[in-house]
Structure 1
Amino acid sequence: MSLPATDIAPFRERRRRLLAHMRAQGGGIAVLPTAPHAVRNRDAEYPYRHDSDFYYLSGFIEPEAWLVLIAGADDHALLFCQPRDPKMETWTGLRVGPEAAAERFDLDEAYSTEELDDILPELLLDQPTLYAPFDRGEIVDGPVQAWLQAARGQTRQGRRLPRRVQDISPILAEMRLVKDAVEIATMRRAARISAGAHARAMRAVRPGMREYELEAELLYEFRRHGAQAPAYTSIVAGGANACILHYPAGEAELRDGDLVLIDAACELDSYASDITRTFPVNGRYSGPQRALYDLTVAAQQAAADAIRPGRPFNAGHQAALRVLAQGMLDEKLLKGTLDGVLESGAYSRFYMHQTGHWLGLDVHDVGDYRDPAAPYADDARPWRALAPGMMLTIEPGIYVTAADDVPSQFWNIGIRTEDDALVTETGCELITRGVPVDAREIEALMRE
């Protein structure tokens, strides 16, 4: 169901900012499609999810729609959407329709998608720049080329095609990187729901359960509190499966004495959360498990302490890495010195990923991690400086598979600890701490 008109102000403000940017570059026209339906098999489709950039500017969640923005002396915002069709709506649900869409979404005009091929060629004429998400491939390229070809017939009358084309995706990525108040409030709610789901899983787990049973507890809690879907495929990995980074919840039995790693979170009103916790199936960490678990928690805290405005994006990763590498040396997983391990990359045998990523409308959200003002071809571009309103994850881990040169008490232990961090004026706030991270607190929760 589409958002009510009272919720449209943030989308109007984002369009205003984008149009101002386009005017500053000499004006032009932007065309953005939403996502197409994706067929699962035969007559079945995957659950529909709109395009994030399209939603960011419009608030419109129905399929088969285009947003058109024209920047010039008089800015203009148009929506093309599916027409009302009582017969189809009996099968697929009510549509807003172009008659109601303009007022409901605070747009200048709205038309049926059946009129796209008639109206767009005329709108493209005499525009200095055509902006579109060209990284979308044929979804954009095919229609745009057809509209340009249709408009080309008017050039004999002195009309002009756009002199320049520009990918709009990097512009929107920069806009989406710093969240506004509405986005932050939504992500806080998503974080609370996801944290509650992890706490539910901790209370529910018992030796002998299957991974998919624990996943069901998570999904129930997501939907019970109004989240529309998981933000990504849930990872529920027992024992050695936790050493497989993107292991989906399977049929493996959760065994007494093993850990279970859960990386799962919900999407609420199009915004993602992202949480990982690792806890003992029987409710109590063993000595070796606790040693590696406390190490990841310490690494996460070091990363959180390093995140604040003006610091480079990778400051958290570097801080976590030093703690993890020293812990690997202390536990005899590695030999040598801290500087030597860091320089050689020997730690990557047990920790092979970054400590965080952007978070927002997408779980791996858009936005350059390097300074966008630096020359693009320079592989040594400095990292982007953090700013208030950015949202990122902090997720150090350690993954020890069985090997002759590794102390056997650590074999097949995989641990990751992940929270969502909002960059504030003075540091960062972990908004997903509604579920505990301290080992003692986790064990106490599991005894409830």
Structure 2
Amino acid sequence: MTLLAPDPACFIKRRKQLLAWMHRHGGGIAVLGTAPEKTRNRDSHYAYRHDSDFYYLTGFTQPNAWLVLIAGTEDQSILFCEPKHPELEIWNGLRWGPEEAAKHFCFDAAFDSGRLNDELPRLMAGHPRLMTTMSRPSDESFFGMLRGWVKQAGQQVRGARAYPTNWLDISDVLAEMRLIKDEVELATMRKAASISALAHRRAMQAVRPGCHEYELEAEILQVFRKNGAQSVAYESIVAAGPNACILHHRAGHDIMRDGDLVLIDAGCELDGYASDITRTFPANGKFSGPQRALYDIVLAAQQAAIANTSASHHFNAGHEAAVQVLTRGLLDEGLLKGTFEHALETAAYQQFYMHRTGHWLGMDVHDVGSYRTPPLSNEDQPWRMLSEGMVLTIEPGLYVRPTDEVDERFWHIGIRIEDDAIVTANGCELITRDVPVDPDEIEALIRG
């Protein structure tokens, strides 16, 4: 067995970009740790997944690793990782070890992570400013270790030199860096999208009345792994009939009945990058009249959102366009009453459409980055303009639950259509259309 390392060029470039930002903000030392391993039960662990920010700067995917960047008179990029351990590697697989990691990932130095308590205080000495990501979800052990190393650094210098007394959060600067994808990232995301589209096509070909939700999930997972994806980007949603009106329904034992719609929201993760596709289709291969009517509304709303996704539009323009189409369609089908203007002003559509039309996509399925104009991201700020290289989803939907005000023909119809889009100068590139959205093409694929 051999270990494979990604091309280090893009990771070196990103570290240099962050070091330049650190210099502009007074220099200092940055410390980032990767994600910890998580116990599932007793001595069984969840499948390990690295921290996205850490991977973005290193390309390193093994646990118990730390990155140190020093922006000083001489910039340094240092990795701490687990040492080689032949006995443990028999059980858990090969480790890079510091020597090989420094060589393959192009660090200035690398150390055994067991030396953190000795080396980190020494490296911190002389630097009054410590930079790290403070948005890690409730990782108190991470901040506890940082505080301990800072304390040790202060004891070592004894007033003769500076040590970190000023902490800066670099979460936002990393989020802004990650928001614009480079060509390596875009190529990976196109490939992930292609694999996920293939899986959705397979699910359409396998569906039939009497099929369980978990059976279609199994078809999807097989295609993911068979085509090289390492994992799912998120837990797959496979929802039959009424379950399609539950936004985060997990694939279960429910059976798809003749006449049901099936909503599948599933995407693979490839080399650290997510894809995210939703398709809705009839279990028996034929949309009913009410199903087709609502499907056509959602598809028209998505087309309107796509037309408003480009570098000349702000982030919310697609959502605003989709909402207008959805509102008009709901009025035409009698699901809403009154005038178009009043329905839009009162957001009456939210009874049937309660989420936004898209989100950032990248290493995380709901990726980092402000939706408002930076540096502030509160609701008083205007929506940010889209830029070339951003990637987002476009995913309008309609979900009709039984109520006395709604014609029974539409009950239990849940529809969402979601594609992944790369923002370009004059529009957007849809990278997930290898699986159809046209209802006639969907029916033909299922019947075929």
- With the shorter chain as reference, the TM-score category is over 0.9
Name the residue aligned to 2:284.
Answer: 282
Equivalents in 2 of 1:304, 1:141: separation in Å? Answer: 42
Deviates more, 1:122-131 or 1:435-444: 122-131
Matches of residues 318-337 of structure 1 in structure 2 within 5 Å? 318-337=320-339
Alignment of 1:46 with 2:69, yes or no, is no
Q: CA deviation at 1:379?
A: 3.2
Q: Does the C-alpha gap of structure 1 residues 278 and 6 become closer, same or farther in structure 2, counting only changes over 3 Å?
A: closer
Q: CA deviation at 1:6?
A: 5.9
Name the residue aligned to 1:192.
Answer: 194
Equivalents in 2 of 1:422, 1:99: separation in Å? Answer: 38
Q: Partner of 1:153: helix, strand, or coil?
A: helix
Equivalents in 2 of 1:85, 1:69: separation in Å? Answer: 26
1:372 aligned partner, one-letter code: P
RMSD, matched Cα: 1.3
Equivalents in 1 of 2:423, 2:135: separation in Å? Answer: 29
Matches of residues 76-155 of structure 1 in structure 2 within 5 Å? 76-136=76-136, 137-155=139-157
Deviates more, 1:155-164 or 1:123-132: 155-164
Work out whether residues 308 and 424 of structure 1, in 8 Å CA contact, stay in contact via their aligned partners in 2: yes
Determine which of 362, 367, 370 is the counterpart of 2:369. 367
Q: CA deviation at 1:5?
A: 4.9
Q: Partner of 1:12: helix, strand, or coil?
A: helix
Equivalents in 1 of 2:125, 2:338: separation in Å? Answer: 67
Q: Deviations over 1:64-107 (max 9, x none)?
A: 00010111221100000001111111110000001211111000
Determine which of 346, 370, 377 is the counterpart of 2:348. 346
Q: Partner of 2:29: helix, strand, or coil?
A: strand
Equivalents in 1 of 2:4, 2:183: separation in Å? Answer: 18
Taking structure 2 as the reference length, the TM-score comes to 0.98
2:393 aligned partner, one-letter code: T
Name the residue aligned to 2:164.
Answer: 162
Matches of residues 8-407 of structure 1 in structure 2 within 5 Å? 8-136=8-136, 137-374=139-376, 379-407=379-407
Q: CA deviation at 1:128?
A: 3.4
Equivalents in 2 of 1:113, 1:443: separation in Å? Answer: 56
2:352 aligned partner, one-letter code: F
1:41 aligned partner, one-letter code: N
Work out whether residues 66 and 81 of structure 2, in 8 Å CA contact, stay in contact via their aligned partners in 1: yes
1:120 aligned partner, one-letter code: L
Q: Deviations over 1:258-316 (max 9, x none)?
A: 10000001000010000000000000101100000011110000000001113110000
Deviates more, 1:398-407 or 1:130-139: 130-139
Q: Partner of 1:158: helix, strand, or coil?
A: coil
Q: CA deviation at 1:140?
A: 2.2
Equivalents in 2 of 1:245, 1:363: separation in Å? Answer: 16
Percent identity (aligned): 61
Work out whether residues 310 and 386 of structure 2, in 8 Å CA contact, stay in contact via their aligned partners in 1: yes
Work out whether residues 358 and 393 of structure 1, in 8 Å CA contact, stay in contact via their aligned partners in 2: yes
Equivalents in 2 of 1:215, 1:102: separation in Å? Answer: 40
Equivalents in 2 of 1:199, 1:41: separation in Å? Answer: 35
Q: Deviations over 1:316-351 (max 9, x none)?
A: 000000000111101100101122112112110000
Equivalents in 1 of 2:120, 2:402: separation in Å? Answer: 61
Q: Deviations over 1:189-222 (max 9, x none)?
A: 0000000000000001011010000100000000
Equivalents in 2 of 1:264, 1:208: separation in Å? Answer: 21
Q: Which 5+ residue runs of structure 2 have no aligned equivalent?
A: none
Q: Does the C-alpha gap of structure 1 residues 2 and 426 become closer, same or farther in structure 2, counting only changes over 3 Å?
A: farther
Q: Deviations over 1:230-253 (max 9, x none)?
A: 110000000000000000001000
Name the residue aligned to 1:428.
Answer: 428
Q: Partner of 1:279: helix, strand, or coil?
A: strand
Q: Partner of 1:154: helix, strand, or coil?
A: helix
Work out whether residues 133 and 140 of structure 1, in 8 Å CA contact, stay in contact via their aligned partners in 2: no
Q: Deviations over 1:360-386 (max 9, x none)?
A: 000000001111134x5x532101110
Q: Does the C-alpha gap of structure 1 residues 6 and 241 become closer, same or farther in structure 2, counting only changes over 3 Å?
A: closer
* Count of aligned pairs between the two proteins: 446
Work out whether residues 401 and 411 of structure 1, in 8 Å CA contact, stay in contact via their aligned partners in 2: yes
Equivalents in 2 of 1:194, 1:6: separation in Å? Answer: 22
Work out whether residues 239 and 259 of structure 1, in 8 Å CA contact, stay in contact via their aligned partners in 2: yes
Q: CA deviation at 1:163?
A: 3.9
Q: Does the C-alpha gap of structure 1 residues 143 and 208 become closer, same or farther in structure 2, counting only changes over 3 Å?
A: same
Q: Does the C-alpha gap of structure 1 residues 316 and 55 become closer, same or farther in structure 2, counting only changes over 3 Å?
A: same
Q: Does the C-alpha gap of structure 1 residues 369 and 244 become closer, same or farther in structure 2, counting only changes over 3 Å?
A: same
